[in-house]
Amino acid sequence: MPKSSRRLTRHLAAAAVTIGMLATSLIATAAPAGATAPLGTKSLASVLASDGDTFDRNWYDYDVLTQAVGAVLAAKPNSPVKVLADGTVPLTAFLPSDRAFQRLAKDLTGKTYRSESQLFSGLAGLLGVNTIEAVLLYHVIPGATIDSKTALRSDGARLTTALPGGTIKVDVLSQRCRLIRLIDADRNDANPLINPWAFDINKGNRQIAHGIWLVLRPIDI
């Protein structure tokens, strides 16, 4: 296993020890000022699964992410990741595309996976369920339904993620072009941009999401 992969696994496995404490605190987290509070209760999990929940040749949807959520919940039914299936709980999630995971795997292993199924199997074998769980939680902002309009007015805001100790900084590059960069904990790699054509997934509900072009990294690898 490459050094960067071992380091990612070691640090996130340590963080995962405290993840179980989040299961109830996710619901109680206060939403930041400006976040909306819609009444719809359609969950993000149901949205992700709506395209058939299968691998395909479209690298710009979220099949790898959907399978990762399912794998974590199959191994750990009480994982805080299950909040994604509870549409009554407000949250905002940033969704890495399949291409984003392909780029992560290339960075960690030097290998380019040519199919989504091989990519998922490769990452699952490399990282393990606890690390995958921690990475998923780093993409979730509990207690806040942050739509694109609010996000574009939040330059400099620091968001607290569902991963213990994990934060993300919002860097609005252009309100006019709807360009937002999310600054993660890794100082040596490019930070993800929100896909301007994938804002407000599941809009009108308490759980909302925005697509991103790279995977957020909760440690410096």
Provide the residue-wise pLDDT of the chain in tens; the chain has 221 residues. Answer: 565 555 555 555 554 444 444 433 443 333 454 555 557 999 999 999 987 768 999 999 999 999 999 999 999 999 999 999 999 999 999 999 999 999 999 999 999 999 999 999 999 999 999 999 999 999 999 999 999 999 999 999 999 999 999 999 999 999 999 999 999 999 989 999 999 999 999 999 999 999 999 999 999 76
Q: What is the pLDDT of residues 134-153, one digit of tens each?
A: 999 999 999 999 999 999 99
Model pLDDT, residue 20: 42
Per-residue pLDDT tens over the stretch 105-129: 999 999 999 999 999 999 999 999 9
* Sequence-ordered list of residues with C-beta below 8 angstroms from that of 52, at least 6 positions apart, any chain: none
The pTM (predicted TM-score) of the whole model is 0.86
According to the model, what pLDDT value does residue 128 have?
Answer: 96
CATH topology of domain 3-212: FAS1 domain (2.30.180)
How far is residue 218's CA from residue 8's CA, in Å, rounded to a whole number? 9
142 φ/ψ angles, rounded to the nearest 5 degrees:
-75, 150
Query: Directed axis angle between helix 63-75 and helix 129-138, to 10°?
Result: 120
DSSP the chain: --HHHHHHHHHHHHHHTTGGGHHHHHHHPPPPTT-B---B---HHHHHGGG-S---S-TTS-HHHHHHHHHHHHH-TT-GGGGGG-TTS-EEEEEE-HHHHHHHHHHHHS---SSHHHHHHHHHHHH-HHHHHHHHHHTEEET-B--HHHHTT-TT-EEEPSSTT-EEEEEEEETTTTEEEEE-S-SSSPPPBB-TTS--BTTTBSEEEEEESS---SS--
